[in-house]
Amino acid sequence: MIEDDFYATLKLKTGEEIFAKVAATEEEDRTLLLVSNPVVVNEIKSRIGIVGYKVEPWLKTTTEDMFVINIADILTMSESSDIEMIMMYQDYVRSSQNEDDNNTQINRRMGRIGNVNDAKEILEKIFKKN
């Protein structure tokens, strides 16, 4: 029997901390968690403190979005009702699904396309001018 989905932060025994939409299920004599689109959230800090968060996929070398984790591999789990965190997660999931549907090619209308040598020359000219 699968329980209702909920958002949660999971701390795995490996030390990894992930945020995901989770559903619990019983299978034989063990409890498994169905984890949907797990992400890692890192704080972006500056001199003035935390200025934002960076959301990345938990596993970067797969296109799968659903994973099964044995509850025995989890150190602790905390259900989240933090609206900001849930909205950030949902935005990430939505944008990652759109990226898969929309493989955009880089072009000049997006901005300047150059190389390191061109940039170096421009910066040297600006520096010498001042």
Model confidence pLDDT, tens digit, residues 42-84: 888 888 887 788 899 999 998 899 999 999 999 999 999 999 8
Q: Is residue 127 part of a domain?
A: no
Q: Is residue 52 part of a domain?
A: yes
Model confidence pLDDT, tens digit, residues 109-122: 656 666 778 778 88
Q: Is residue 121 part of a domain?
A: no
Q: Is residue 42 part of a domain?
A: yes
Report the pLDDT averaged over residues 79-98.
Answer: 89
Full-model pTM = 0.69
- The one-letter code for the residue type at 65 is D
Residue 38 lies in domain: 6-100
Average model confidence (pLDDT) across the chain: 85
Q: Is residue 129 part of a domain?
A: no
- Residue 63 has, within 13 A of its CA and on its CB side, a CA count of 4
Can you give the pLDDT at residue 95?
86
Residue 106, both tokens: 């880089």
Q: Is residue 118 part of a domain?
A: no
Q: Is residue 108 part of a domain?
A: no
Q: Is residue 106 part of a domain?
A: no
Going from the C-alpha of 7 to that of each of 45, 68, 121, the distances in angstroms are 25, 15, 50
DSSP 72: G
Give the domain CATH number at 87.
Answer: 2.30.30.100
Helix and strand numbers (H, E) in the chain are 2, 6
Domains contained in the chain, number = 1
